[in-house]
Structure 1
Amino acid sequence: MEKPPEERHRVMTWMQRLKRVFNIDIETCERCGGKVKVIASIEDPDVIAHILKHLK
């Protein structure tokens, strides 16, 4: 029996969502093809803006 859409989307990880929507595979290293381990996720808009400001 297939799960309802709400339940299917709820169990997807951010990595799975990025891969599905944008075809971005953040689990694989672009240089060597090895497995990448995500150790942090920054989601606060103010913190993101602060970091991006320093990259300009």
Structure 2
Amino acid sequence: MRKKANTDDPIPTVIPNEMSSKEFRRDWARLIQKIYEVDPLTCPKCQGSMRIISLIEELDIIERILRHLGLWDIPNHDPPQPAISRFYS
């Protein structure tokens, strides 16, 4: 209905960022570290510092990479069965 009445203002999907790329990377890493309690820019093998060199957004490319690594068709498992406790009187 809003579209027909010309009152549906489009919201841009990419909002311009006022931060520099260095500030943005630092904030991104800080948020990931806060949520997952791990620094995403520290190598899990050698603990060395890593940097972002590329960002892949195309689904077909992501699928090709994950299929190559054998990670695309990982079967889901059923959730664990609840423990049944029985009380005897």
TM-score after normalising by structure 1: 0.52
CA distance in 2, matches of 1:55, 1:21: 26
* Structure 2 CA distance for partners of 1:17 and 1:44, relative to 1, 3 Å: farther
From the CA coordinates, give the structure whose radius of gyration is larger: 2
Alignment correspondent of 2:46 = 32
Alignment correspondent of 2:32 = 18
Identity percentage of aligned residues? 31
Gaps of 5+ in 1: 1-10
Q: How many pairs does the alignment contain?
A: 45
Offset at 1:22?
A: 3.2
Gaps of 5+ in 2: 1-23, 71-89
Offset at 1:48?
A: 0.3
CA distance in 1, matches of 2:69, 2:35: 26
TM-score after normalising by structure 2: 0.38
